[in-house]
Amino acid sequence: MKKITFLIFIFFISFNLFSQEKRPFEKFVYPPLSEIKIPEITKITLPNGLKVMVIEDHKLPLVKGRMMFKAGSVFDPPEKVGLSNIFYEVWRLGGTKTKTGDEIDEFLESRSAYIESSGDQEYGILNFNCLKENFKEVFPIFVELLLSPAFREDKLELSKSQAKSVISRRNDEPQSIVFREFSRIMYGKDNPYARIEEYDTIDAITQKDLFEFHKKYIFPENAIFAIWGDISIKEVQELLKKYFKDWKKTGKKSPEYPKISEKISPGNYFSNKEDINQGYIVMGHLGIRMDNPDYFALLIANRIFGHGFSSRLFKSVRTDKGLTYGIYGGVYADYSRKGEATIFTFTKSETVFDAIKAIIDEVDLIKKDGVTEEELERERKGYLNEFVFNFDTTDKIIRRLLTYEFYGYPEDFIQRTKTNIERLKKSDIDRVVRTYWKPEDFIVYIVGNKKELEEELKLLGNVKDWDIKIPKPRGEEIPQATEETLSKGFEVLKRGYEYAGGEKLEKIKGVKAEGKITLSTPQGDFQMDFTSLYALPGMLRLEMSTPMGDIIQVFNGEKAFLKMGDNVQELPSTEMKRDIQRSYFFLLKQYKEKKLDFQYLKEEKGVDILVVKGAGEDFEVGIDKEGKVSFIRYTGQTQMGFGKVEEAFSYFKEVDGLKGPFRTHVYLDGKLVSTTEIYDAKFLEDVDLSNFEVK
């Protein structure tokens, strides 16, 4: 899991929300909110050093437990980044020495219980939840997972495959890119708080590494355990004595968190993403720690400046200037290190410079003029009204108190927060915005389409390119392209172009096909009839008949949708766009259109292999001496998982003077996962684009 340092992004759509006239609901008078009541907590330290927090709560017949460890991704070895994430996933899924993960699943599901493990940058968690009547059955399994995990190989390989799938898609969404890479620019790519998983670091992880991680970090002095619910202190003490008697004290100290550099490199940075028509922007610098006395004032300053409908940023950049649909920002804090002071927005490519200037103007303005008493009172009231709902259940309270204890914060930090917010003065807010916003130190990072942003980047001046390309796995690196290899690549592509029909390809605007897809699964083959309509260069409609009903999948060139019955849902579009760019006729038509580069790589068993560049991620296409496209290879996702994919083409037929494959076998890591057979195909010189509307 990645750290969460920002508010959930909100799309704002209405100007009317800013009317100065009181709306009906604003005229209501509400009674004062109830005081936050912290239940009585019993703290126990076991002889082995484990700290335990217990809360009795007999309102419901439930018992819950949560154990935190100082053992997150910041402790991953540099050559095995991703180890802790794999560890926490396989810890639970891999089961114990006596029970598989699947057997534990079945046992827990029959009792409406769960045991889960998860990890973050600085910590890991093992928790459980069960009915009181099942507690004495569930807790021993929790302890067995804690002390005797198995980390079974099949679950490890599954987890690694899923991790590599995430890597392959990490540049799909620009908002995800811009936050991830901003942190890497600020902290440095090699800092443990900014490192990211790569194919090689995931491939390097072994079962032995998981056992060693467990031995190194899962020990009693490095953990805090909270247990609460329908259970007495006496029962807890007896359980701890019984089940933790063999979890011995190690004498080891908890690891120290890595340091972050206070020295950052201000400036303008840019990453190219050709498939978007907007600029995504994060700008800022380091923030503060939560134990900074100014933390409380900044909570309110952030609301005034950059959170919500009434914030300065939203009113100015969104409402007055119309430069974005959404924007937010603030000086944020973390428990153990300084957080990030950031502002995020997105805007049309041609208004990127104006948006950045407008944001900096707002920073300068609030530093110069400060805030108003009205803003302070509005946001103080809003914060306190929301604050109480962070602690309206025992679950929320114990999780917060456990986190405070874990990081060494005072137990009454909840009450201190409320008290300090109530005492804030206008001068406090003015002082912190002047102290902690430093536009002269801003890192400005933009993700966008370079072709559309060329003039905007010139206006910014001195913009550094920031590489976000995903490195290939070791041994699959592609040599640098040269004029010679690119020229030879197009000569090979010409052979495929002429075999398929040459100039006749230029007349077709689409392809309609009917056929059958056979999925090869461990449970046996699964067949679906399909009809597809492909409009060049980049629209697809696929209708499939399945035992679950008819499914329609549509990609209109920008967005992808799935329709089943009356239910329509939007799908991630990037993968469908890649599928089209890897399709037979799209590739061959590039001989004339030249939107992609084809680099000659090598000959393999009489087939010339080309590397296709410019379609997001590079992939390989093989063309034999006759001109048939033999295969397409890439690293990606199939119906049966993630890995090295090969689409092998065969059974070429000629229709209306055009040749193409009527059978495609898809292999995942060498194993057959699907076969597509086409019964009938028609080449179209005109396509009704209304077919790509979702109705």
Q: Are 46 and 238 in contact (CB under 8 A)?
A: no
Handedness of CA 170, 173, 175, 181 (dihedral sign): positive
DSSP string, 304-331: HHHSSTTSHHIIIIIIIT---S-EEEEE
* Alpha helices, DSSP H, located in 20-152: 83-93, 101-109, 135-147
Please state, in angstroms and rounded to a whole number, the distance separating the CA atoms of residues 346 and 333. 23
Query: For 61-79, what is the mean pLDDT?
Result: 97
The 10 Å Cβ neighbour count of residue 537 is 16
Q: Are 445 and 282 in contact (CB under 8 A)?
A: yes
For residue 457, the model assigns a pLDDT of 95
Please state, in angstroms and rounded to a whole number, the distance separating the CA atoms of residues 366 and 620. 53
In sequence order, what are the residues at sequence separation of 6 or more whose Cβ sits closer than 8 angstroms to the Cβ of residue 668? 638, 640, 641, 643, 644, 645
Residue pLDDT, tens place only, 582-601: 899 999 999 998 888 999 99
Please state, in angstroms and rounded to a whole number, the distance separating the CA atoms of residues 539 and 414. 54
DSSP state of 596: S
Burial class (CB in 10 A: 0-12, 13-18, 19+), 626: exposed
Query: For 295-324, what is the mean pLDDT?
Result: 95
Selection from 194, 228, 252, 236 nearest residue 78 by Cα = 194
For residue 630, the model assigns a pLDDT of 95
29 band by pLDDT with thresholds 50, 70 and 90: low
Mean pLDDT of the chain: 91
For residue 25, the model assigns a pLDDT of 41
DSSP string, 242-290: HHSTTS----PPPPPPPP--S----EEEEEE-TT-SEEEEEEEEE-EET
Query: For 187-196, what is the mean pLDDT?
Result: 95
237 band by pLDDT with thresholds 50, 70 and 90: very high
Kindly list the distances between the CA atom of residue 597 and the CA atoms of 157, 613, 616, in Å, as whole numbers in the listed order: 34, 5, 12
Please state, in angstroms and rounded to a whole number, the distance separating the CA atoms of residues 89 and 125. 11
Domain spans of the chain, in order of start: 46-172+195-243, 262-465, 483-692
Residue pLDDT, tens place only, 531-552: 999 998 889 999 998 877 899 9
6 band by pLDDT with thresholds 50, 70 and 90: very low
Are domains 262-465 and 483-692 of this chain identical in fold? no
CATH class (in words) of the domain with range 46-172+195-243: alpha beta
Compute the CA torsion angle 309, 314, 316, 321 (nearest 10 deg).
-110
Query: For 445-470, what is the mean pLDDT?
Result: 95
Please state, in angstroms and rounded to a whole number, the distance separating the CA atoms of residues 417 and 384. 10
Residue pLDDT, tens place only, 330-381: 999 999 999 999 999 999 999 999 999 999 999 999 999 999 999 999 999 9
Q: What share of the chain is helix, strand, coil (3-state, %, to 5)?
A: 40, 30, 30
Selection from 690, 194, 265, 289 nearest residue 464 by Cα = 265
Total residues belonging to the chain: 695
Q: Which residues pair with 124 in a beta bridge?
A: 69, 119
CATH number of 483-692: 2.50.20.10
Inform me whether the pLDDT recorded for 7 exceeds 50. Answer: no
The C-alpha angle with vertex 590 and arms to 588 and 595, in degrees rounded to 5, equals: 155
- For 414-435, the three-class secondary structure string (H helix, E strand, C coil) is HHHHHHHHHHCCHHHHHHHHHH
CA atoms within 13 Å, Cβ hemisphere of 579: 17
Please state, in angstroms and rounded to a whole number, the distance separating the CA atoms of residues 356 and 280. 11
Please state, in angstroms and rounded to a whole number, the distance separating the CA atoms of residues 47 and 556. 64
Residue pLDDT, tens place only, 376-421: 999 999 999 888 888 888 899 999 999 999 999 999 999 999 999 9
Residue pLDDT, tens place only, 478-537: 888 999 999 999 999 999 999 999 999 999 899 999 999 999 888 888 889 999 999 988
Candidates 3.30.830.10, 3.30.450.20, 3.40.50.300, 3.30.70.330; CATH matching 262-465: 3.30.830.10
Q: What are phi and psi of 595, to 5 degrees?
A: -85, -15
Query: For 192-198, what is the mean pLDDT?
Result: 96
- For 353-396, the three-class secondary structure string (H helix, E strand, C coil) is HHHHHHHHHHHHHHHHHCCCHHHHHHHHHHHHHHHHHHHCCHHH
Least confident piece of the model among 429-433, 546-550, 679-683: 546-550
For residue 16, the model assigns a pLDDT of 36
Kindly list the distances between the CA atom of residue 124 and the CA atoms of 69, 71, 121, 142, in Å, as whole numbers in the listed order: 5, 6, 8, 15
Residue pLDDT, tens place only, 552-578: 999 988 888 888 888 888 887 777 888
Instruction: Name, of 4-13, 155-164, 468-477, the range with top average pLDDT.
Output: 155-164
For residue 615, the model assigns a pLDDT of 67
Compute the CA torsion angle 217, 218, 219, 223 (nearest 10 deg).
100
Selection from 23, 351, 25, 84 nearest residue 216 by Cα = 84
Residue pLDDT, tens place only, 281-306: 999 999 999 999 999 999 999 999 99
For residue 567, the model assigns a pLDDT of 87
Percent of the chain with pLDDT over 70: 94
Burial class (CB in 10 A: 0-12, 13-18, 19+), 205: buried
